[in-house]
Each structure stands twice: as C-alpha cells, then as structure tokens.
Structure 1
Amino acid sequence: MSARRRSSLAILLIVWLAALLALPAVAQPLPAGVERGASVEGIDEYRLPNGLQVLMVADDSKPTTTVNLTVRVGSRHESYGETGMAHLLEHMLFKGTPTTPNPWAEFTRRGLRANGTTWVDRTNYFASFARNDEHLRWYLGWLADAMVHSTIARRDLDTEMTVVRNEMEMGENDPFRILFQQTLASAFQWHNYGKSTIGARSDVENVDIERLRAFYRQHYRPDNATLTVSGSFERASTLAWIADQFGRIERPAQARWLAPTLDPAQDGERSVTLRRVGGTPALLAMYHLPPAASPDFAAAELLAIVLGDTPSGRLHRRLVEGRLAASVFGGTLDTEEPGVTYFGAQLGPQQDIDAARTALLDTLEGVVAAPVTAEELERARNKWLKAWELNFSDPQRVGVALSEAIAAGDWRLFFLQRDRVRALTLADVQRVAAQRLLAANRTLGTYLPTAQPQRAPQPQRVDVAAQLEGWRPQPAAAAVPEFDPTPAAIDAATQRFTLAHGLQGALLPKPTRAQAVHAVLTLRYGDERSLAGQAEVEAVLAQMLDKGGGGLTRQQIEDRLDALRTELAFSAAGGTLTVTLRTRREFAVDAVALAASLLRTPDLPSDALDEVRRQVLAGIAAQRHDPQAVVAEALERHGNPYRRGDPRHARSFDERADDVRAVTVARLREFHRRFYGTAHAQFAAVGDFDPVALRAAVERHLGGWSAPERYTRIARAWHEPDAVRLQLETPDKQNAVLGVQQRVALSDNDADYPALSLANFMLGGGGDSRLWRRIREKDGLSYGTWSYVDWSQHEPHSVWGAGAIFAPGNRDAVERAFAEEVRRALDAGFTADEVSAARDSLLAFRRLSRAQDDRLAAALAGNLHLGRTMAVSQKVDEAIAALTPEQVNAALRRHLDPAKFVRALAGDFRRQ
C-alpha cells in the first residue's frame, strides 16, 4: 500500500472518529408508554398513557425537592348545592387511605413540609423536603394513592366539619376579606367565580357523603391533573417511579363535563355595603377582565401596577399623598375564564369615605382621559418582570407557581405571559383601559342609572393552543451543582471577617438558580437607658428608610430596586435594625451600595411620616378587635414588670397609638444621629456572588461608621407572672383564640435545650403532635393548634407557649382537650416509638432549614453576634439524635408546669 493511500485512510479515520464523537449522547429510554412533550427553559413535559401530565424542573442548587400535584378542580366546577366541595375534598384527602390512614404523621416522620390549597380553577397538594429518594418515592406513592383511594368516610367528615367551619369563621373575622367576597359575588351574575371557595355554610354543613364521593370520582383522575417535580432529584428514577405509581390508575371512560356558563357583559354599576364591628373604612372596585390566556391580560396586569402600586401608583399619589386614605392597592385574578381586576383603599378612622370614593373612581376611570405614560409603563414592566424572575429563580416556588398557569389552561402560559409583558405597548395598555375601566363594568357601593350605557366586549373563551402557535421559548438556564447543607460543609465554605471598626461578616458563595443572592445586615445599638421611650421612633424610622435617601427620591429608590431586580426590607425593635436583601449576582455590589446609602443618609420627608403614621394607626385600630392580636397583647402585658418607656415594657394598643402620634421628623433625625452605625453590626450573604467584590463593597459603604451612643445588650431579667385565666370579648367575631404561656428558666445553651425542643415538637410543634391529633384531628375543634418555645440565646429566660383557634361555642371543649393532653404528656410521657419518629422528623426539618438561603444567611449573621459557628448546630443535631424517651420525658416534667400557665382567650362569648 502506498504512503499516499495510507495517508488518505488515516484522514478518513480521523474524520469518522470526529463525527462519531460529535454525535449527541443517547438519551435514556422513557418508561413504557410515556411520551415526551414540550421543553421550555429547563422545564420538561411528559405524558403518561392515562393522561397524567408530568413537569420536571431540575435544579441541584439547593438539596431540596418540591412535589406539587395540580388537580383541575376548584369552586368553579361545583354545581348547585355543592359549594365548598372542592375545598372540603382538599381536607378529606389528608384524612388518609386504607393503606395510609394518617398522612400527617407520615409527613412529619419524613420531615415533609406539606399542605394543600384550593382556588377557583384548581386544587393543589405540595410538599418540600430535604433531598431524599426514599421520601420522594413515598410521597409520589401517597399522591397516587390519594388520587383514587381516599377514604372519604362519614366519621372523618363529621370530625373535619368543625375544622372547616372553624376555617370559615376565621375568615369571617376579617371585614375586608368578607367585603372582597361580597363584592365578587355582586360582580358575577351566573358564573361560579362569584362563589366563595370555602362554600356556603348550608352546603358545607349539609353535604351528602355520596355526592361528595361522586364529585371526587368525577374530578380526581389522571387526565385532569399535572404533577410537577422541582428542585434536586434524579430524573430517570423519578420518572420511573411516577410511571409505576400513577400509571396503575386507569383513565375514566367518561369525558369530563364542564359547564358552558359565562356571564354576559355587565350593563350597569353594581354595589354592596358591609357593616361590621371593628377595623377602619375600606373601598373596593372591581372590573371584568378577559381570561388569563388572553393577549389583553398582560395589559391588565400592568394597569393594576400603574394604578395600584405604592408609591408610584396613581391611587397612592391621589389618595394617600392627598390624605384621603391610609393605603391603596390593586391586582388581577388570573383565571381560566373571564375574571376581574380590583382596586381598593383602606382609610384611617377619621377620613372621609365619600371624598375617597370620588377620588378612587375618578382616578381609575380617568385613565381614558389621562393616558398611561411611557415612564409609567416601563416602571410597571420592570416591577412585574422583577417579581417573575424572583419567582422563577426559586426551585421551591416555581413548582407551585406553575399551578396558576396550569389552571389557566397551559403551563407554558407562565412564560408566554412574560414575553407578552416585555412586548407590551402603550397603545395596548390604553386600549384595554378604555374597554374595561368603565362605570358600566364596575362593581362598587352604589347604583347610578345612565341613559347611554356602555358595554365592555362580550366575554369569550380563548383558544390557548392558538395563542401558543408561533411562540418560541427562551433557552433553559444552565444546571447548577448540588449544595451540601451539613453544618461542617457550611462552616468550611463560609468566609468570615471583621472590619477594623468592628463590623463582622460571613460570606457563603455558592451557585444558585438564576444566580440568586440572599443577604442580612443587623445593626445593634443603644442600651436600657438610652433607648427609653424610643420604641415607636425606632420602628417608624425603619419604615422610613426606603421613603427617600442617598440622594434619591422615594420613586427613584423604587425604580432603582426594580432595575437591580432587588427586594429590600427594613425592620427594627429592641435595639436591633434588620436589613434583608435579595438580589442577583450581577447586582449584588450595587444593591449593597444602595442599602448602605439609604441607611447612612435618609431624607425622612414629613409627608412620608404622615403616611406611615396613618398606616400604623389604621393597623392598630384593626388589631383592637382581632382576637389573635388581643390575646397577644394580654399575654405580653400580664405580669410585665417594666415601667412605661422601658424598652422591655409591653405597650397597650392605646400606648402604641399615643407613641405613634408623638413621632416627629426631628425625633427620627436625632435617633438616627445617636444610634445608627456599624461598629456592632453583622453582615451575612449566601448565594452566587463574588466574595472579594462583595466584601470590598461592604467595607467601602458600611465600614468606619460609628454611633455616638454606646451599645450594651438589654438583658431580660427573670420574672414569672402569676398564673391566671383572662377572658376578653371581641364582639361580632365568629372565631376565637386561646393563648397559653409559661416562663422557662432555660436558654438555648442549656443541656436541656435538645430534649425540651423534641418534647415540645411532639406535644404541639410538629404536624403529628399530641395537641394536633387530639384537638384538630380527633375532636375536630380547631383549624389550627400549636405549641412553641421562644428560646433566649442569652439569659436562662425562655417562653413556652401554645394556642388554638376555634368557634366561641367550642371554648370549653378546647380548653378541656388542651388541659387533658398536656397532663397526659406529663403523666404518661412519650413512647419510644413517638420519640424515635419525632427525632428523625425534627432533624429533617433542621436540615431543610439550613438548605434555605434566606434562613441560612440569617443564621450566619446571628452566629456572628453570638460568637458561634455551625458546629453548635451540629452538636444540637447529635444531641437530638441520641435522646432517649427517659431524657425527653424528664425534661418536659422539669420545665412544664400547668399550675404556672397564663391563659388568655378572646372571642365573642356573649352568645353562648
């Protein structure tokens, strides 16, 4: 063979090998019968032979998994006499199946944070947990089992009925929530969107068990559901488990029937008036809209921001800055069939509702004469897109957020809506405003006849498939590596530093979805003497920090935050200012610079102070009649040994109102001058950032800033209030609250901390606790019951607390059940099986907490202040894992004493 021939063969061989290497890897085969659907920006769709739709949103940036089952059934699908059935079924599915009779116990045992929600177009069931294949496979199996084998027994319905009524009554305590529901009911003449999701009391109380089972069989079927798995998981095995567990379910032969009902175009103003005790005046206006899949819906969403946002919205400028209202808002309901947009105003106690109503309607319906400007549109667009990006960047939130798009017709609407917002023009927004913001299309408080009625366009359904034709999704984001949330790994990855003037820092750089960053800054200041009488000044100053400063107006600050895709919040109490920040890698340095400039050079304008004052006073007025707030005030004040003005004094509603009225701009400026500085500050950040650049930004913008007043932590000396039972009346409230407290001479440094934490978890802190099983599950007396320990991190002075919400008529039964379960725990103790299951569950929840970037950032900042590392968490985990039943029971008996309980009850007990 010639050299030339050999050379030619070699070249061919090289070309062949290169081509072979360039071939894509062979995809793993799908389970039998499973078909691949659309793939959009990292979300992959599959379809089982029985019709179940499966969405996979893989993201290994956090070692957590979220599973969400969306069933396309809500209050819209209920017939006459069936209102509340969709919501009632949500409750009943958690009552178990023949193979899993107690789901809540199984959730708790595996550390699953699970729940369900019901809305007009869908019901969803979801759980988040630290990545664990066994737990994932179990939960998928439970969902498949619950879809077709839920017991729905009369005995369970009878006990759950009181719980559902309790939830209904809890909603009745909120006047604005009832105003919203009654306005919605007036807006819809025939369509079920006007019916409350929780249902009519008569329908719920008289539900027929066989009719409820028929409703279940009609709607709980694989071809009517979407299963979404998001976060960290192995795709092939997960899809195989889904195919195995759900593939056994047969598709019903009968097709689903959907009511053809659509309301006609509204032909005149409608009104509703609500009169109840408590709260402050409020206004609410609703206008009919097309479905969420309509091309016009994006314009309606941005109109809601242009009109209802704070502080840029027209309503805020007209009503709040004009001192006609305390606060305003706006929004839309993204529904599968024609829905509504809504706008409202909350008034202070002395504000004129007639003047506010005129200004509200003139502003909303005046958009036709005063068109939306280009600046308003861009500001609204940036705000909407920021919210969308923050939602999409979180693997736990995106899986559940897709439920709304699924319910609206197709999960891809989640992305199509974003693209429509990006492409929206002023002409689109103005056209929708002119068509929809009409007096004849409005539901409010009065009726006014007109000789020439105007009509909004006739409601029409939207062909979702046609809307999606020609649309092209964006490329999916790159996958990120898995994060290890063990304390040792966290400590090893954390970079700690202390600046020359005292600020402490902790940086934990790691890849995250959408390059998200969470940061926390705490400023500590003052002492027992210098902070006397400053409680409301301190709190109000924190609320004023984003109202102008750093050379920017309030609106410029809001615009800057939107441009930086950043959420920023300030809060202060007891000598500590907390700043929380969420942003993205590319904006992290600029976000820190903005936050620092607001902290160091606030404007504190007087008109903003007037607005904050009105809002705080309106909140206090509402709390005076809220049973939960009334109980909290009573427990805080009973036995409090500190005089008025002391930072540790528990203030009454009247004292808080007086303090708010006494706040002036001069006092705010003086407080800022005396106390703000970073010599005793802690900064912590977790997420995808450049640690060198971020540390430099912290040092440049926050370093070298000291306050004139010294900082000394305010001690909480031991005091033990007398045991007492307080009963407080809150007239016209259909829900009541029980609160219980006892002081405990422990801190989280004590040897009994792990044992008492586990004992409380079993008593009332976990989802399968004794109090939950007795009061909520067995007796069906309460929608929610709980216990907790508010652990001191310094002195041996913690607070154990417990509570329940219930109907006033069940007061005696709730108190009796509570007392019996506490006594049973003290006398008989917890069993070895309970302790074993609770140990695993509590440790799983602790692992899950460390996997949440916002909580981890707060923990790192707290550790800096306490001089701790995550090794302390590791020691606690190890101590919990080693606990015996004898140790746990002994700790509970040492520290819990019913003879020392302070009990407070609030509700409308006069009707008993």
Structure 2
Amino acid sequence: MGLQLSFRHAGYYIFSAPIVSGHSADESLKQMTQALENLAENPLQADELERFQATVAAQQWQLLQNPGLLADVLSESAALGNWQLILDRFEHFADLTLADVQQQAETLLNANQRFTGQLLATPISDRLTDASGVSSAQITTLKPTDDKSALMNSPATAVPEFDLLAFNQQVEMIEASLERYELSNGLQIILRAQPGSGKPVQGRMTFRFGDADTLNHKRALAELTGTLIIRGTETKSFQELVDQVNRMGAGLFIQPSTGTVSVRLETPPKHLETLLTLVQEVLKQPALTQEDFDVVKRQQQQALRQTNQQPAQVANRAYLRQVERHPEGHLLRHRDHNELLAELEPLTLDDVKTFHRQFYGTNHGQLALSGDFDPETIKPLLQQLFGQWNSPAPFTREEQLHEPFPEARLHAHANALLTGHYLTYLHFPANNADEDAAALLLAERVLGRHPIQSRLSKRFRQDKGLTYGIRTSIKIANLGTDSWINIESSYPMTQGEKFADLVKDEVSKLIEFGITEEELLQAKQAIFQERQLALGQDQIILAHLPNQTYRGHTYLDWIKRNNDFATVTLDQVNAAIRKHLASAIWIEVLADRAGSKD
C-alpha cells in the first residue's frame, strides 16, 4: 500500500505491507525496497502512465456526478485559498509526461530518502501497564455529563407533523417509474430509466444457485470460484479488464458467497452496453488459469489463518458458535475459519471449473438498472447476454425457523487493554408479514437505535457514564421466523458483568412498563424521516430492488408499512413488547482480556 502525505514545504510517501506469520519481515522489506529504488534500471512504461491517467479521469467524472462529494471537495479547496485547486490538479494529472514522472520517481524514491521500520505487536500481557503507568486498577468509568439537557432532543410536542399522504404518493411515483419483467430464462429485470437526465447508469445484479444438498461442503469452493472469475476472461487478462473499465470511467465489483454472486456496476451512459457485455464475459467466460488459481488460493489460505482478536470480532465468533445449529458443511452454517481452511486445502483448478459449469447461470436472479438509458435499446441486449444462460443445479432456500436453545452468558478472551465488548442477541419468533412487525420495529428504536435519545443511551451514557456507544439493531425474518434484537457496545475493563446486568434490567423495565406516548411519537417521526430520506436517493432505491423482487415485493409494500407505522397504537406496541421480548432467548457475550480463551 502506498500513500503520499503532503505539507506546505515537504511531504513523504508511506509504503507498507502486512507480513504473514512465518514469513521474513527483512526479506519482505528487501523486496519492497528493490522494487521502489530500481526505477532507473526498470523505468516506468507509457502504458502504466496511461493506466494511471485513465483512472484519474474516471475519478474526475465520478466526482462531478456526486454533488455532495463535489461540494465537500470544493469547500476544502476554497479553505486552502483556491476553490479550483482540485480541478487544476486533475488537469495537471492529464498533462503529465512519462519523463516528468520518471524524473520525480528517481529523485524521491532512492536510498538517501529512505526511512524503514517495523510495527511489531506485543502480547496483551506485556501491555497491561502502558508507558504512562496506567494499569487496570486505575481504570474508571466515564464521567457523566452534567448538562443532560444538551443531550436531549426537542420534546414530542415540538415534533412537526409528517405528511404521510405526500410520502405515499412519492412511493407510488417511484414504483410507477419502474418497469418489471422477466427474460426468457426467468431472470427478473427491473429498469428505472431516466433518459435525458445525464445521470450515470448504476446496476445491481444477484444470481442464485444450488440448495442445501448440492452445496454441502462447497462454501470454500464457491468463494474461491467467485474470486477467480474476476481475474481474467478467455480473451482478456486481469490488467486488460481493469484498463478497459478505467478507460470507460466505470466501476465494477463482484462479490461471491456460498449460493449467490452479486454484481455492482456504474458507468457513464454512453458505455452501458459495453460494460454489460463485459460483465457477461467475466461471469460466463472466465479464464480460470492455474497461475491465478494458485495465487488466489494462497491468498485465501493466508487470510483465513489470520484470526482477529479484537473484542468485537471475538464476541461475534463466540456468539455464532453458541447458536450454531447446522451441521458442518451446511449451506446456512456460519463461517468458521478452520472449517473453511479444511475445505480449501484439497481443492484443485478442475474443481473450480466443474463448480462454475454446474452452478453458474442467471435463471434464478435479479438485475436492476437505474439512470440515463433507453430501455428499448437495452432490453434486447439483456436478453442476448443473460436470457439463455441457465444454471443446471436446482435452486431452493430453506426457511430459517426460530428454534429454542438454552440462554447463555459467555466471557471470551480478547486482546484489549482498557475496554471490552458487549454483544447480546434476544431471539424470538416473528415474521415481517406479522401484524405486529411495525410495533416491534418502533419498540427497538425506542430501546436503543438512537445514539443519544434511546432508553439504553440515556441510561448508560448520561446516568451511568459507562459508554458513549451503545446501539441496537433488529432483524425480523422475511423467510421463516428466526428474528432477533441485537444490543452492542464497548465497556470499561472490569465493568462487564455490571454492564450486562444493567442491560437486562433496562429491557425488563421496557417489558414491564412499556414505552410512553411521547416516545412512540418521536419513534414514528424518526422512522418516517429516515424512510423518506432513503427514497430521495437513487442509489438506495436501486439497492433495494434485487432482494425486494426476489421476495415477491414491490415498493407498494412500503405504503402498507408506512400506514402500519402511522396507525399502530401505544397499546399495540406495548403488547408486542410483552409478547416477543418477555419470552426472548438471551445470548450474551462479554469479550475482554479477562475472559476464557478458546
């Protein structure tokens, strides 16, 4: 990784690389130094400069299409005395010659300018007392603020009325702007054409394959295959792919998982057809060479061997192990690094080619496009590219049903000096189509969604001074009934058990006494504002479409949920709290240096 930091009179570059356990740091440093300081014997090439300039030109175009980011950049330039600074810099990049860059590289990247060092992590036991003499015995809680009024929002009586009718009409207009249909093989298409708008075209594509039987013990193979396909096609190398995307000023991102592949794309309107054709080539005609296979497999093995011991990651792994109910190799089993390593080790290039041939195809998928394009031009191209490519494997997904399991409070060991991490899930049966789903969403917001005004934040931040960052989230199942509320926060060392007890106490009060009319009004207002803000952004509207369509929904379902939020009563919310949370199964995890090691 290289980074240039600039100052008024001087600057410096930082080049760094992580060292895999067992490899020589000295040898890695030697190789890096030779690559950087050998530019006289191995000068920069014209195609490398052209590649850089194409990338910068693409960044310039993307910046000019983003008003919010452009305003930030221009304000920063103005603060430095020249609001055109960033535009001048783009022009300078475009005018660079190979001789200019070579001269600067040889001047700056040489042994006379070099400082080297290594960042070596020490065991947590060696850091229990830091250089300032602070030890665990001296750790205290945060001091609560004296001015609690500064942390409070306006009272409910000051909350303005929300125009629900106007918002629902906005949702109707969004749905009316969409064209939904299927290609001949079943691929679901959602088009939001905005011809003449000048907006970049953005796309989201998800195709799904396999079932619990055919994908058994194939998680590592699926992820390896999905990573390899972007390494080149039958006619283009990886570098040629990157260069073509950059020359178009486009962006392309492909993310594999066990039974899906997701694609994100963005391009100037004039290059949409070229980029879609390139996407099809990458997905359908990957090169899958032995050289790329060896590189990617080795990288994935190295990544899986690196276990993050920070408290939040440790807590999450401990939680997933506790609630795991699927057998090893199952499609829905949580990721386990040791299991994935065992799956990855024996895989060959032939395994990858076979997996690609047996599972890849677009017949069980969704493709959404939004921006400045002519739908009548794009429709036949989509059919040509994706309408006849089918996955031979059957496709089904199991519903995730709520299953009772024993409650637990775990204490896991993590590398942390001053703080630990608290993680809790309250599991309960519910489905997004249930009549009290809206009530549950409102209840969770009152409990902990807001970083300052929620019940948990008020108690832990203002009253107890234990943390500034306690938050909640909620998942109500779309398929099945496996639902939960998550509570998460850091806490001061030695305060973990007290912290967990206080969380339980606050939830118990919520169950016993419910929420107030004022809290309900504020929660409704906040939800409507967030939903309206989301639907004011093209990118968010687009992001919803693949999964929304997969579940058989449209944006008209937002209107029903809007109406549910508007009409739900205080009694209904408090009844939903008692129904679901009073019997919820608690899985709590404390992760800090005093916890038990695996």
TM over 0.5: yes
How far did residue 545 of structure 1 move?
Answer: 2.0
1:15-62 Cα offsets, whole Å, 9 max, x none, are xxxxxxxxxxxxxxxxxxxxxxxxxxxxxxxxxxxxxxxxxxxxxxxx
For the pair 1:859 / 2:531, whether they are aligned, the reply is no
Secondary structure at 2:366 match in 1:
strand
How far did residue 550 of structure 1 move?
Answer: 4.6
Instruction: Check conservation: 2:218, 2:258, Cα contact below 8 A.
Output: no
1:806 corresponds to = 491
Tell me: CA distance 1:411–1:508, structure 2 relative to 1, closer, same or farther (3 Å). same
Secondary structure at 1:333 match in 2:
strand
For the pair 1:680 / 2:376, whether they are aligned, the reply is no
Instruction: Check conservation: 1:743, 1:800, Cα contact below 8 A.
Output: yes
Instruction: Check conservation: 2:412, 2:595, Cα contact below 8 A.
Output: no
Pick aligned residue for 1:438 from 110, 116, 127: 110
Pick aligned residue for 2:170 from 483, 486, 497: 486
1:765 corresponds to = 449
For the pair 1:787 / 2:472, whether they are aligned, the reply is yes
How far did residue 484 of structure 1 move?
Answer: 11
Pick aligned residue for 1:832 from 513, 517, 539: 517
Instruction: Check conservation: 2:195, 2:374, Cα contact below 8 A.
Output: no
Tell me: CA distance 1:405–1:909, structure 2 relative to 1, closer, same or farther (3 Å). farther
Report the AA paired with residue 246 of structure 2: D
1:888-908 Cα offsets, whole Å, 9 max, x none, are 222122112476210112121
Tell me: CA distance 1:684–1:566, structure 2 relative to 1, closer, same or farther (3 Å). same
Instruction: Check conservation: 2:411, 2:589, Cα contact below 8 A.
Output: yes
Instruction: Check conservation: 1:545, 1:598, Cα contact below 8 A.
Output: yes
Instruction: Check conservation: 1:521, 1:681, Cα contact below 8 A.
Output: yes
How far did residue 629 of structure 1 move?
Answer: 1.8
Output the CA distance in 1 between the equivalents of 2:476 and 2:248: 37
Output the CA distance in 2 between the equivalents of 1:732 and 1:804: 14
Tell me: CA distance 1:330–1:696, structure 2 relative to 1, closer, same or farther (3 Å). farther
1:738-792 Cα offsets, whole Å, 9 max, x none, are 1111222112222121111111122122343222333245434334221111232
Output the CA distance in 2 between the equivalents of 1:709 and 1:512: 41
1:187-228 Cα offsets, whole Å, 9 max, x none, are xxxxxxxxxxxxxxxxxxxxxxxxxxxxxxxxxxxxxxxxxx
Alignment of 1:725-764 (within 5 A): 725-764=409-448
How far did residue 736 of structure 1 move?
Answer: 2.1
Output the CA distance in 1 between the equivalents of 2:11 and 2:246: 28
1:589 corresponds to = 273
Pick aligned residue for 1:542 from 187, 206, 226: 226
How far did residue 557 of structure 1 move?
Answer: 0.7
Report the AA paired with residue 170 of structure 2: T
Alignment of 1:264-303 (within 5 A): none
Alignment of 1:655-670 (within 5 A): 655-670=339-354
Output the CA distance in 1 between the equivalents of 2:205 and 2:239: 23
Pick aligned residue for 1:607 from 288, 291, 302: 291
> After the TM superposition, which segments of 4 or more aligned residues of structure 1 sit over 6 Å from their partners?
none
2:245 corresponds to = 561
1:847-885 Cα offsets, whole Å, 9 max, x none, are 222233232222122222122111101111121122222
1:45-89 Cα offsets, whole Å, 9 max, x none, are xxxxxxxxxxxxxxxxxxxxxxxxxxxxxxxxxxxxxxxxxxxxx
For the pair 1:338 / 2:23, whether they are aligned, the reply is no
Report the AA paired with residue 490 of structure 2: I
Number of equivalent positions: 547
C-alpha RMSD of the superposition: 2.4
Tell me: CA distance 1:385–1:540, structure 2 relative to 1, closer, same or farther (3 Å). same
Output the CA distance in 2 between the equivalents of 1:692 and 1:588: 13
Secondary structure at 1:443 match in 2:
coil
1:690 corresponds to = 374
Identity of aligned residues (%): 26
Pick aligned residue for 2:205 from 521, 544, 552: 521
Report the AA paired with residue 319 of structure 2: L
Pick aligned residue for 2:531 from 846, 852, 863: 846
1:696-728 Cα offsets, whole Å, 9 max, x none, are 221111111112111112332332331101111
**Which of the two has higher C-alpha Rg?**
1
Report the AA paired with residue 359 of structure 1: Q
Report the AA paired with residue 640 of structure 1: E
Report the AA paired with residue 792 of structure 1: A
In the alignment, structure 2 segments of 5+ residues that lack a partner are 119-166
Report the AA paired with residue 397 of structure 1: L
How far did residue 488 of structure 1 move?
Answer: 0.4
Tell me: CA distance 1:755–1:539, structure 2 relative to 1, closer, same or farther (3 Å). same
Pick aligned residue for 1:822 from 495, 507, 531: 507
Instruction: Check conservation: 1:790, 1:798, Cα contact below 8 A.
Output: yes
Output the CA distance in 2 between the equivalents of 1:583 and 1:608: 27
Output the CA distance in 1 between the equivalents of 2:87 and 2:168: 31
Instruction: Check conservation: 2:311, 2:415, Cα contact below 8 A.
Output: no
Tell me: CA distance 1:801–1:662, structure 2 relative to 1, closer, same or farther (3 Å). farther
1:452-490 Cα offsets, whole Å, 9 max, x none, are xxxxxxxxxxxxxxxxxxxxxxxxxxxxxxx99922011
How far did residue 639 of structure 1 move?
Answer: 3.1
Instruction: Check conservation: 2:168, 2:559, Cα contact below 8 A.
Output: no
Output the CA distance in 1 between the equivalents of 2:250 and 2:202: 10
Tell me: CA distance 1:795–1:433, structure 2 relative to 1, closer, same or farther (3 Å). same
TM-score by length of 2: 0.86
Instruction: Check conservation: 1:637, 1:651, Cα contact below 8 A.
Output: no
How far did residue 555 of structure 1 move?
Answer: 0.4
How far did residue 574 of structure 1 move?
Answer: 4.2
1:517-549 Cα offsets, whole Å, 9 max, x none, are 221111111111001001111122222221111
Output the CA distance in 2 between the equivalents of 1:373 and 1:809: 58
Report the AA paired with residue 567 of structure 1: G
2:67 corresponds to = 395
1:532 corresponds to = 216
For the pair 1:874 / 2:543, whether they are aligned, the reply is no
For the pair 1:374 / 2:59, whether they are aligned, the reply is no
Instruction: Check conservation: 1:542, 1:572, Cα contact below 8 A.
Output: yes
Tell me: CA distance 1:537–1:799, structure 2 relative to 1, closer, same or farther (3 Å). farther
Report the AA paired with residue 871 of structure 1: L
Instruction: Check conservation: 1:729, 1:909, Cα contact below 8 A.
Output: yes
1:641 corresponds to = 325
Alignment of 1:191-206 (within 5 A): none
2:154 corresponds to = none
1:598 corresponds to = 282
Secondary structure at 2:309 match in 1:
coil
Instruction: Check conservation: 2:423, 2:487, Cα contact below 8 A.
Output: yes
Alignment of 1:88-487 (within 5 A): 329-333=1-5, 338-402=10-74, 404-406=76-78, 408-445=80-117, 486-487=170-171
Pick aligned residue for 1:906 from 584, 591, 598: 591
Tell me: CA distance 1:861–1:910, structure 2 relative to 1, closer, same or farther (3 Å). closer
Instruction: Check conservation: 1:721, 1:902, Cα contact below 8 A.
Output: no
How far did residue 733 of structure 1 move?
Answer: 4.9
Report the AA paired with residue 789 of structure 1: I
Tell me: CA distance 1:621–1:867, structure 2 relative to 1, closer, same or farther (3 Å). same
Bigger relative CO (Cα 8 Å, ≥ 6 apart): 2
1:407-456 Cα offsets, whole Å, 9 max, x none, are 5553321211111111111122122212221323223128xxxxxxxxxx
Output the CA distance in 2 between the equivalents of 1:833 and 1:511: 45
For the pair 1:616 / 2:292, whether they are aligned, the reply is no
Output the CA distance in 2 between the equivalents of 1:422 and 1:784: 45
Tell me: CA distance 1:851–1:336, structure 2 relative to 1, closer, same or farther (3 Å). farther
